[in-house]
Structures are given as structure tokens and as C-alpha cells.
Amino acid sequence: MLTRTIGRFISWPVDRIAALIAPTGIPPNVITWLALVLNLWAGILFAAGRFAAGGGMMLLAGLCDLLDGPVARRQNRVSLFGGFLDSILDRYADLILFLGILVYYARVNRFMYAVLAGAAMAGSVMVSYAKARAESLVPKAEVGFWDRPERLALMILGAIANRMPIALWILAIGPNLTVIHRILHTWKQTKDGQLPLAGTESNAGASPPHTKPQISIPAVQTRSASTPLLTRAAKRGS
């Protein structure tokens, strides 16, 4: 995807900034919360009609979103909970941003744009939910274009260039088409019982019915170098 290509170019400067922040001992979860606070500020600016300033604030929030993972890895604080928290706060940030836009257009009596903001908000939430729900049934559901980085990039461009109505039209249509795409993808993968439910074992690999179950010890939730992929997967949930 476009944002993944861009990500390859910005990974080095982000890693350098993370190298400067990590020795300070700032917990990565604090950076995650800071991203939410900055997005809340951006939402307030949008509600006031200050789109360019809101777009700039979204850029700062996006930088925090990029930094929490590398800082966690450098501090050896990667954890499953960190990825979970990041994903939850990302959803709240998306809702706050669209709510700010909706409030502005409702306040200036631009009913159509307020409806578009509501449709874009719904699409934003459903893209992430469709992927999470689909991947409880099938191995992967990474289909469609409009994941969170693409949505935020377009919103930032629309805000800074003062072309938010155009961005809203695209965001109201594109993400909802991605939801439909993921529905069709999951239907194709699950029709006629071709795949078992994700997280369940096939009959061929299942234990005999009367075999004594093994006792598994829950893994300690320390941030280690073995979990960045899981954290990144939760973060990309988008």
C-alpha cells in the first residue's frame, strides 16, 4: 500500500527519534496516551473550523503513534497489553476527529457535510471491526485499501489544504467499500466450511478425546523482543 511505501522512507528518522526518547525512560504507553490527547486537541480545532491547525495537530499525534512501538522495543517494554491499549485509543482518536468535523458542519448548518462526516465515522469504525471479526474466523483479512494510515493521511491533507469536503466524500465511500470487500473475502474463505474457526485445531491435529489435557502457564506480560509483530498487528488493526 502507499502508506507502507512511505513508511519505509520515514522508518529511519522515526527510529532515530525513538533512540533519543528511549533513554529518558518515558513509558511507551505515555506516548500512546499523548497521541490521544493531541487528537482530542485536533478534534476541538476541527469543531472550531480551524482545519489547518487541526491537521497540524494530527501530524504531531501521528508522530506519537509511530514512536510508541520503537520506543517500547528499545526499552524492552513490548507487551500484548501495549498493543491492545494502542488499538483501543486509536479507535477513540478516530471517533473524536470525525466528531469534531461533524460538530463544525452541524454548527454552520451544512447538513450534507455533517452526514458525510457521520458516514466516514461509521466506515472508520467498521473497517477495523470487520478485520478483527473476520480474523476470528479466517487467518487473514488484510484486503482493501482504506486502513487507518490511509484514512489519516487523506484527512490531514484535506485539513491542511482546506479541502475537507473532498476528503469527506472519499472517506464516506472508500472505507465502507473496504468493509464490503472484507465481508466478501470472509464469505469466500468460510463458505462450505472450507476453513476451521481461527484459534481452533483441525480434527487431524486434535488430541484424543480422553487424553489428559496439558496445563499451560500464562505468559508473563513483559515487553520482550519476541512480541513486536503481535503489537504491530494490533496496532494496524485498522
pLDDT tens series, the chain, 238 aa: 556 666 677 788 888 999 999 999 999 999 999 999 999 999 999 999 999 999 999 999 999 999 999 999 999 999 999 889 999 999 999 999 999 999 999 999 999 999 999 999 999 999 999 998 998 888 888 888 898 989 999 999 999 999 999 999 999 999 999 999 999 999 998 886 655 544 444 444 444 444 434 434 344 333 433 334 443 444 444 5
Q: Given this model, what pLDDT does residue 30 score?
A: 95
In Å, how far are 72, 101, 156, 178 from 45, measured between CA atoms?
A: 30, 9, 13, 29
pLDDT computed for residue 11 by the predictor: 83
What average pLDDT does the structure give for the chain?
A: 82
Provide the pLDDT for residue 194: 56
Separation CA 18–CA 238 (nearest Å)? 23
Q: pLDDT value at position 205?
A: 43
User: Hey, where are the domains in the chain?
Assistant: 10-198+229-236
* pLDDT tens-place string over residues 18-39: 999 999 999 999 999 999 999 9
Per-residue model confidence (pLDDT) at position 191: 84
Angular region, 207: left φ>0, alpha ψ -120 to 50, beta rest: beta
d(CA 148, CA 154): 10
CATH architecture label of 10-198+229-236? Up-down Bundle (1.20)
- Residue 208, judged by CB atoms within 10 A of its CB (0-12, 13-18, 19+), counts as exposed
